[in-house]
Chains A and B, each alone.
Chain A
Amino acid sequence: MTRYFTDEHEWIEVDGTSATVGITDYAQSQLGDIVFAEVPAVGAKLTKGGDAAVVESVKAASDVYAPVSGTVIEGNDALADDPSLVNSDPEGAGWFFKIELDDASQLDGLMDADAYKAFVEGL
């Protein structure tokens, strides 16, 4: 399994033709206490760079963008009851949704862990 990152601070972990998406530890630390997360419905068609999910903290509301195009196969229902999972375990239990990829080549433009680390350090 390979994990990629976007410059909008999403992570995407690819497993075959499907992938899990969430926001990075850096993103959650910038947002502060998360009070609400809305994940896309199963079956929703997402377009790379388009709106996919919503995350609200005590100080801001932000959109989570789709790192690649695809069809949603699962949303993380646990976030409805406990949105703070995004703070406590952003790159694990605080995942947002899983998608079936339309085109794996869209992953090519994304960053790997080292590149993202360097990107965040440069902010």
Chain B
Amino acid sequence: MRYLPLTDQDRKAMLGVIGANSIDDLFVDVPEEARLDGPIAGLPMHASEMAVERHFAGLARQNLAAGDHPFFLGAGAYKHHVPASVDHLIQRGEFLTAYTPYQPEIAQGTLQMLFEFQTQVARLFGCDVANASMYDGSTACWEAIGMAGRVTKRKKALLSSGLHPHYVSVARTMARFTGDTLDTALPSFDGTDIEQLIAAVDGETSCVVVQYPDILGRIEDLSAIAAKCHEHGALLIAVVTEPVALGAIRSPGEMGADIVVGEGQSLGVGLQFGGPYVGLFACKEKFVRQMPGRLCGETVDAEGKRGFVLTLSTREQHIRREKATSNICTNSGLCALAFSIHMSLLGERGLRDLAALNHANAVRATERLTQVPGVGIVNESFFNEFTLKLPVNAREAVHKLAERKILGGVSLGRLYPDDGQLEYGLLVAVTEVVTDEDIETFADALQEILS
């Protein structure tokens, strides 16, 4: 039996209804040069399974994999040790196969896990309520800007220059369609823009978006900007790309942030070559009806026993249609589970210890790296990531380090290709997986490159 049991006549009838002559007519929007006109050039038509495996293993060996070498990359995705028990538990059949159920209450285990996840995120961020997760940090950030627009009925968002440029870019894409105005700027080595932001908030501002710690690793007290926002009826959105930091520094919610979003990858979820990740989203309770995404609630059943439900679904697209708070009606269930299991294994004490370990390693790294002649540090404060100022183009330095099998950070020239000052910046992340030997190897190689 054919998987798509359509006859040529069926197809013709369907094409007739929509007024198309052929299947190809459906693809006219794809530019000619983007279409494949035959077999891919240079690719053999056949190869054995063994030959393919061998070939691809060879290609894979050309990667400098994160786990194999001294590794100092961060900029929004962090390499932490994920205990083996996390992977073991998330692969239990009950969790691994359970997609968001269409009759959600039948899957109490899934709902309970999401409820626990929400509780952890809300506590970590210092907020009243968190949703069951979003796709990743950047989409969560945009959703927060959209939510601020609904709450304040204003369209102008001020984005801190310390916000990750990829997050800014996602927001820009979305704002093209919603008509929101985004005020953005490039970061500077001469300090954060918090004072400028405070001065810029006015009665037209829907929200201010600040990253904490920011893209260069700097940490600011958010209390004053929160107060200024509230004075003008605007919301403060804080973006946390490294949630482990909150084991050491005050949560944005405690400082008055109205919405706190973030990337949850660094707890429980590996780097995975860039995804899938898990977006975190939390806010003050008074805004919950404007919050996007799924939300699990605790209740009691007819016999008075504790149970869980999907709640406030009237915000969501399947009920609210085009007036829904978001077109995202799902969540990153498996990554959220991994986050939640890792967080449960750590506990509050473990998270604080992990954060302290990260910071201590980073401090050691700054002390050693700034001994390299010509290397300075931009940050006055940092958690586990900081920006070095090199005497040479950092992008080229990163390539030279990679040739020596050291993944020595993310060059700011890669994140901000057109800025003269920033091209000397090297963003270095140091987590608990970095050893003293790694730091030594990195510093020695850097010195060699710069001499």
Binding site for B on A (CB under 8 A): 36, 38, 56, 60-61, 63
Contacts and interface: CB of A to CB of B under 8 A. Distances in A.
A66 B319 CA distance: 22
Contacts of A60: 314, 319
Nearest to A44: B153
A63 B314 contact: no
A56 B314 CA distance: 7
B364 interface: no
A47 to B, nearest CB: 15
A77 to B, nearest CB: 14
Interface size class of B (residues with CB under 8 A): under 10
B289 A38 contact: yes
B250 interface: no
B323 interface: yes
Contacts of B319: 60-61
Contacts of B323: 61, 63
B320 interface: yes
Residue from B314, B319, B320, B323 with most neighbouring chain A CB atoms (10 Å): B314
Contacts of B320: 61
Nearest to B319: A61
Pick the most buried of A38, A56, A60: most chain B CB atoms within 10 A of its CB. A56
Interface in B293-322: 314-315, 319-320
Contacts of B315: 61
A24 to B, nearest CB: 21
A13 to B, nearest CB: 27
12 contacts: A36-B289, A36-B314, A38-B289, A56-B314, A60-B314, A60-B319, A61-B314, A61-B315, A61-B319, A61-B320, A61-B323, A63-B323
Nearest to A57: B314
Nearest to B324: A61
B295 to A, nearest CB: 14
Contacts of B314: 36, 56, 60-61
Q: Which one of A36, A56, A61, A63 has the highest number of Cβ atoms from chain B below 10 Å of its Cβ? A: A61
A8 to B, nearest CB: 15
Contacts of A38: 289
Given A36-B314, A61-B315, A61-B320, 9 more contacts: A36-B289, A38-B289, A56-B314, A60-B314, A60-B319, A61-B314, A61-B319, A61-B323, A63-B323
Interface string B97-109: 0000000000000
Nearest to B315: A61
Nearest to B290: A38
Contacts of A61: 314-315, 319-320, 323
A36 B286 CA distance: 13
Nearest to A38: B289
Nearest to A58: B314
A63 B314 CA distance: 12
A38 B323 CA distance: 14
Contacts of A63: 323
B90 to A, nearest CB: 34
A107 B319 CA distance: 32
Nearest 5 CB-CB pairs, A to B?
A61-B314, A56-B314, A61-B320, A61-B319, A36-B289
A114 B289 CA distance: 37
Nearest to B314: A61
Interface string B314-357: 11000110010000000000000000000000000000000000
A60 B319 CA distance: 7
A60 B316 CA distance: 11
B419 to A, nearest CB: 42
Contacts of B289: 36, 38
A38 B320 CA distance: 15
